[in-house]
Structure 1
Amino acid sequence: MPDAPHSGGGGPDNLRGMINTYPSSEDAEVAIAAVRAGAEVVRNSYGQRLARIDKGAGDFATTADLEAERAILDVIRSTRPHDAVLGEEGGQQGSLDSSRQWLVDPLCGTLNYAVGTMLVAVNVALRGGPAAVADPFSGEVFFTDGVSARVRQDGKDTPLTPTAATRLVDVNLDPPFPNAPAFKATDLLGHPTFIARFRPRVLSTTLALAWVAAGRRAAYVTDGADLSDSVHFAAGIALCRAAGCVVTGVNGAPIGDGGLGVVAAADADTHELLMSMIRPEG
C-alpha cells in the first residue's frame, strides 16, 4: 500500500491533513494484511508449549499473543507510520488524540487456544473505519471497508449475508457482568422464549460476531460497558454493521452512544425478540 500522498509544507497541521486522506479501500487492505500476519503467528504457534503471562483475575496472555501483536504492528507501522495504535498487550502507542487509531486484539480466545481449541480470532480495526477479523485455522478473513462487508478466502471475496435461519445465538458468559441484575446472560439462556426459538452456543471469542455477519449465527449477546472502542469488539461490530445486522447495547442504546455490551442480530425481528427477553420492561 502506498504511503500518504505528499503535498507542500511540512508543519504538524499539514501532516495531520496528509494522514487522513487514505482511501477506505486501502485502509481495509492494511487491516487484512495485519490480521493475516497475526494469524500466521497464531497458526504456527498452535500446539506448542507456550509461556503464559499472568494478567490477573484468571486472565493471561501467551507468547503467541505477544508475537502476533508484534507482527500486526509491523504491518501497521510500515504502511501507516503516523497512525496511533491501541494493542491489547502493548497498550497505547502514539498520540491519544490522534484522529487515526488502530485497535488490535492479536488473539481473541486465548483460553481456547491455550488448551488446544481452534476457536480464536485476530482482530484489527481502524477506529470508526475499516476492520478485519481473521480465523487463523480456516484461512478466512472477514473484512469491511466501512461500507460493505465481505469474506476473503483463497483469493476470492464473497459478500457477507446475515440470516437468522440457523437459530444459533452465541452468548458470552465470561465476567464481568456490569449490567447485572438488570441483565444476566444466564437468565437469557433460561428464558422460555429463548429455549423455544433459539439454540445457545458459547464460542468464547469474538469470531462469533463475524459469524453473525456471515449468517452462521442468528445473533451474539454479551454484557459489558461501552465496547465501541474495545480492541476485542470493535472489528466485529464494524463487520456486523456493514453487513446490515442490527447492533445495539443490551440496554437498547446505539453502540458508542450509550450502548452497554452488545446485542448483534442478523435482522430486526431477531433483535426485537432478544430485546423483549433482555429488557422485558422496555
Structure 2
Amino acid sequence: MITDGDLVVAAAAAGAAVVRARYGGPLARVEKSAGDFATEADIEAERAVVDLLRAARPDDAVVGEESGRTGAGGAGRTWLVDPLCGTLNYAARSMLVAVNVALRTSGGVTVAACADPFAGEVFWTDGSGAYVRRDGVDEALTPTADSRLVDVNLDPPFPNGPGFRAVRLLAHDGFVERFRPRVVSTTLAVAWVAAGRRAAYVTDGHLQDSVHFAAGIALCRAAGCVVTGLAGQPPHTGVGGLVVAADRPTHAALLALVDDQLSAGAR
C-alpha cells in the first residue's frame, strides 16, 4: 500500500498537473465573496487531488477549499487541500502559485506537500525530514537567512488591525536596515523559507486548520525553522498570525518589529 508520504506528494503533483495544463487559457470564474473567486482550474485541480486521496484512503475525511468537507474521517484523519494557492496571480497569468496538501491527525499534521506547478518541484515532509523533489529525486531542505528576503502577506483579513498591519513592517526603519521585502501573495513563499529561498515569512490571521497554511507550516517545522504566532506564542494561539524564520536571530528581529506595533496599539 502507498505510504502517506508518497500519497501526499502524488496528490499535490496531480493538482499541479491540472494547474499547469489550464494556464493561459480561458477560465470561467466562480464568485465566492467580495473580491474573491475560484476558477475552473481551482475546481478541476481539487477534483484531481481529492479523487486520488479518495481512491487510496476511502475512510479518511477531506477538507477542500472549494468543495468543503467530505467523508467521515472516523479514524481521526483529515486531508486539507488547497488546490491553487494564488488564484489572483494565476488569473492574471502570473506563475506564482502553489498546490497544498496536508494530512492532519490527532497528533497534528503528519505529512504535507506544496507543489510548484511551473518549476516542477514538490516540497514535502514525512513528518521527520523535509525535502524538495525534482524529476523523482529528493533533496533535503536547508533553511538559511542569507538572502535577507522576507515575504509579507498583505492580503486581508487583518484580525489584529488596526494595532498590527503587516504593511507597516515595510516602512519600519529596523526592517529596511536588515531585510528586503517580497510580496508574492501565495503560500509557496512559506515553503521557500524551509528551502532557504526566503529568510522569513510574516502574516496576520487565524490559521488553525487552514488549507492554505497547514502544508507550509509542517514543512518549516520539519526543516528546523522557527515557527510561532505574531507575539512569539505557539502557532494558532493568542493573537494568532504567523512568523516563520530560517533561524533564531531573524525570528527575534522580526518579533521585535511586530511587537512595536502590537505594543503601540495596546497603549
TM norm structure 2: 0.94
The number of aligned residues is 258
Question: 2:257 maps to what in 1?
Answer: 277
Question: Is the partner of 1:129 in helix, strand or coil?
Answer: strand
Question: 2:102 maps to what in 1?
Answer: 125
Q: CA deviation at 1:259?
A: 5.8
Residue from 136, 141, 145 that aligns with 2:122: 141
Deviations 1:79-134 (A, max 9, x none): 11100000000001123765100000000000000010000000000012100000
Amino acid in structure 1 at the alignment position of 2:62 = V
Question: 1:5 maps to what in 2?
Answer: none
Matched, 1:56 2:33: yes
> 1:22-101 alignment to 2 at 5 Å?
26-95=3-72, 98-101=75-78
Q: Distance in 2 between matches of 1:179 and 1:97?
A: 35
> 1:129-278 alignment to 2 at 5 Å?
129-225=110-206, 227-258=207-238, 260-278=240-258
Amino acid in structure 2 at the alignment position of 1:279 = D
Consecutive unaligned residues in structure 2, runs of 5 or more: none
Amino acid in structure 2 at the alignment position of 1:223 = D
Q: Distance in 1 between matches of 2:95 and 2:143?
A: 23
Select the structure that is richer in strand.
2
**Runs of 4+ with deviation above 4 angstroms:** none
Amino acid in structure 2 at the alignment position of 1:120 = V
Q: Distance in 2 between matches of 1:222 and 1:54?
A: 25
Task: Indicate conservation of the 8 Å contact 1:228/1:237, yes or no.
Answer: no
TM norm structure 1: 0.89
Question: Is the partner of 1:118 in helix, strand or coil?
Answer: coil
Question: Is the partner of 2:54 in helix, strand or coil?
Answer: helix
Amino acid in structure 1 at the alignment position of 2:214 = A
Which segment drifts farther, 97-106 or 156-165? Answer: 97-106
Question: 1:106 maps to what in 2?
Answer: 83
Q: Distance in 2 between matches of 1:171 and 1:157?
A: 28
Deviations 1:177-218 (A, max 9, x none): 101122111211111010010000001000000100000000
Which segment drifts farther, 179-188 or 166-175? Answer: 179-188
RMSD: 1.3
Deviations 1:20-78 (A, max 9, x none): xxxxxx11111100001000000000001000000112000000000000000111011
Q: Distance in 2 between matches of 1:183 and 1:96?
A: 37
